[in-house]
Amino acid sequence: MSMTLNQILDLVGALDDSAGADTPRERFRRFLTKSVTNVAELRDHIEQCLRTSGDQYNRALQDLVNHIGGFLGFEVVFGRYRGSGARLGSTAIGRRPRGFTWFWR
């Protein structure tokens, strides 16, 4: 059964930078890793984010774009959505087996 991005976001809750292993952000990222396994579905979710305004869809778009790195063979380490105080926002870091690393902010 395929779910729309709206349904997924309704289930996981509001995406934010709250700490913890079972926050909406972590649940969404686990869902992406386990369930969004084909490019067509990933594209559909990205297009939904581009058509819909608001923080929830902006944050989901960041995670979806980072998830593309996994399709390209990178090990993606997700970061914060936004910086706060002395902590910078870092969208993701990706590493490949041969040592190539990318950092996106």
Domain boundaries in the chain? Answer: 5-104
Higher pLDDT, 69 or 49: 49
Helix runs in the chain, H state only: 5-12, 24-35, 39-51, 55-71
In b/e form, how buried is each residue of 73-87, taking b as 16+ CB within 10 angstroms?
ebebebbbbeeeeee
What pLDDT digit, counting tens, does each position of 64-96 carry?
988 988 888 888 888 888 765 555 555 555 666
Specify the pairing of strand 101-104 against strand 92-95. Answer: antiparallel
pLDDT of residue 87: 53
| pTM for this predicted structure | 0.82
What pLDDT digit, counting tens, does each position of 3-25 carry?
899 999 999 999 999 989 999 99
Is 105's pLDDT higher than 80? no
Tokens of 45: 């979710």
Shortest CA distance to 17 belongs to which of 50, 59, 52?
59
